[in-house]
Structure 1
Amino acid sequence: MHSLPVFVRLTDRAVILVGNGEAAEAKRRLLERAGARIVGENATDAALAIVVDDDAAVARLKARGLLVNVVDRPDLCDFTVPAIVERGDVIVAVGTGGVSAGLAAALRQRLEALLPAGLGALAKGLQAARGAMRMRWPDGGDRRRAIGAALAPGGALDPLGHPMTVDAWLASAAVVPSRTETLIVTDDPDDLTLRAARLLALADRIHHAPDVATAILDRARADAVRIARALPATTEPGLTLWVERRR
């Protein structure tokens, strides 16, 4: 992974913008949408800067310790600005590390057509129900598994389907039962079936053969436990996977 994606809250925070022309105006509009306070190069209260066509300014700002985005110069960028799809509080960012803004834009257009307008309302509903979910599932693992099952394809809150209201889901939801699944995979993540990709994304722990490719294991949740040995005889809570390489 060439970069760590992060979402930075910029409301009322200073961001330096250096440059003129349409590229600079496009960045100004984006910063204003994020609530940033746009300032000049000499401002002392900024941590981020965006520069258009001014290599000398880039050098000066970096010397001051600022993180700098240089428009159309990925080799000079400390951070890049992704293509963005916004649905209320749900923000999806597509980045290529500056390698191809055109590819990021094309993917954003596909996602615009795919992601429904109601995603923001679903996020708000889940936020409002946090207390009720904690009461329903006091154990954090049970709670995460119940939410994951509801948001999975075909689930009660499937964000790309026709989700019921969060309140209606809470009224009928139960603890997700423990289970184990076996996956036989190749070394190529593109060969994963939709079912396999979904199981990797939902698994609480992954037992795997030593020769399973890292590129496959990277498709799992970052906090899923990875264990390079066979499944134990006992059943552990949640979803456990045994992953082995196709012979």
Structure 2
Amino acid sequence: MDFFPAFLRLTDRQVLVVGGGDVACRKVDLLLRANANVTVLSPELHPFLANYVDKGRLIYLCKHYEDIDLAGFDQVWATTDQRDLNHQVYRDATARGLWVNVVDDPNFCHFITPSMVDRSPIQVAISSGGASPVLVRYLRERFETMLPQNLAMLADYAGKQRERIKEHFKTVDERRKFWERFFRLPEVEHAKQVNELESAFGRLLLSPEETHQAVTIVNIGRDPELLTLKALRLMQQAEYVLYSHDCPEIFVDLCRRDAERELLQQADLIEKAAVLAEQDIRVCVLTSAHLSNEEMKALLPFSHEPIFVSASDATT
């Protein structure tokens, strides 16, 4: 991992952008949307940025760059078309302990900006660390078509129900399970108005708790792209993930981020799954063992049958 992914709060942070051309326009626009206090330093200024100056949205310093200009700033962007100048800004900012980004030059960046799918307050960030911008753009386009347009409404509505939901469910686990059920309701996925969300929310509060399958067994291969949508969905629902040494790390990473993870010997996976399921914990077993469904069922002492999914399902 060359860059640690993070979202920065820039409200009232002092940000210096060295350069006033086309590249600066794109970066300044994003910085202003993030409520940063932006200063642009350049002997010339693009009309787009001049419009922001006229509106009082940013400060403009009409001058050539000097090291002293970095004083008082929290973050620095070098956006000029002069490579040597950009690298000088990087060296000067680094010496002062400032975070600096030299646009389109990841080797001279303390941070980089990802490609974004913006459904504020929901944001999806995608980056290749500068290795393949075209691939990143392609992935962003895919996400744009996959993610529902009502995500912003869903996030805003859910945020306003936090205190209300605490009155009905006392534990974090109960509240999490409720929200998982809520967001998967078809009427919620397709809702266009807040009143539709409220109707589904109220009805779900009054409904009895649904039973959940305790154990999911994912028979993995070597290629995570062969996982079915069903497998990925169940992996994301698991509260506990069990896997053995021969399980490629990518499969574990595709499971729910906050799930407990435990590395075991292959022979111990099913036994541990049985223990967890008896505690009403939703567990996902990632295994490469070539046991039939009937053989695995025989190893699981449950009245409820486990769910079996396989990477090879996608090819049948």
* TM-score, reference length from structure 1: 0.88
| Aligned equivalent of 1:235 | 278
Q: Matches of residues 142-221 of structure 1 in structure 2 within 5 Å?
A: 142-152=174-184, 155=186, 157-158=188-189, 161-162=190-191, 165-173=196-204, 174-178=208-212, 179-221=214-256
| Alignment map for 1:33-48 (pairs within 5 Å) | 33-39=33-39, 42-48=69-75
Say whether residues 1:58 and 2:58 are aligned partners. Answer: no
**Deviation at residue 71 of structure 1 after TM alignment:** 0.8
**Structure 1 residues 45-89: Cα deviation after superposition (integer angstroms, max 9, x where no partner):** 433221124111110001111121111111111111111222231
- Structure 1 counterpart of 2:102, one-letter code: V
Show the counterpart of 2:305.
Answer: none
Cα deviation, residue 43, structure 1: 4.3
Measure how far apart 1:130 and its partner are: 0.7
Give the alignment's Cα RMSD to 1 decimal: 2.3
8 Å Cα contact 1:203/1:241 also seen in 2: yes
Q: For residues 201-237 of structure 1, give each alpha carbon's deviation from its aligned partner in whole angstroms, at most 9, with x where no partner exists.
A: 1110012233222111111122211122421345233
User: C-alpha distance in 2, partners of 1:51/1:221?
Assistant: 38
SS in 1 for 2:285: strand
In 2: Cα distance, 1:112 partner to 1:87 partner? 10
The count of residues paired between Structure 1 and Structure 2 equals: 244
* C-alpha contact 1:142 1:176 (8 A) present in aligned 2: no
Letter in 2 for 1:225: E
1:114 and 1:222 map into 2 onto residues whose CA distance is 21
| Conserved? CA contact 1:85–1:108, under 8 Å | yes
Contiguous gaps of at least 5 residues in structure 2: 42-66, 291-316
Contact 2:78 2:101 (C-alpha < 8 Å) held by counterparts: yes
Q: In the alignment, residue 50 of structure 1 is paired with which amino acid?
A: W
**Structure 1 position 67 matched with structure 2 position 132:** no
Q: CA deviation at 1:22?
A: 0.8
Q: Please identify which structure carries the higher helix content.
A: 2
Matched, 1:223 2:223: no
Flag structure 1 segments of 5+ consecutive residues without an equivalent: none
Matched, 1:79 2:106: no
Match of 2:12 in 1: 12
CA distance in 2 between partners of 1:9 and 1:181 (Å): 39
| 8 A contact 1:187–1:245 mirrored in 2 | no
Mark the CA change 1:207 to 1:116 in structure 2 (over 3 Å): closer, same or farther: closer
CA distance in 2, matches of 1:34, 1:11: 6
Check 1:209–1:113 CA distance in 2 against 1; reply closer, same or farther (3 A cut). Answer: closer
Does 1:117 pair with 2:155? no
Show the counterpart of 2:160: 128
Seq. identity, % = 27
- State the SS of the aligned residue for 1:57: helix
| SS of corresponding position for 1:84 | strand
Q: In structure 2, give the amino acid aligned to 1:6.
A: A
Aligned partner letter, 2:211: P
* Partner amino acid, structure 2, of 1:244: T
Q: Give the TM-score, by structure 2 length.
A: 0.70
Of 129-138 and 41-50, deviating more is 41-50
Report the structure number with the largest CA radius of gyration: 2
Question: Contact 1:16–1:43 (CA<8 Å) still a contact in 2?
Answer: yes
Return the alpha-carbon distance in structure 1 between the equivalents of residues 230 and 21 of structure 2.
48
SS in 1 for 2:258: coil
Give SS of 2:284's match. Answer: strand
Q: What letter matches 2:151 in structure 1?
A: L
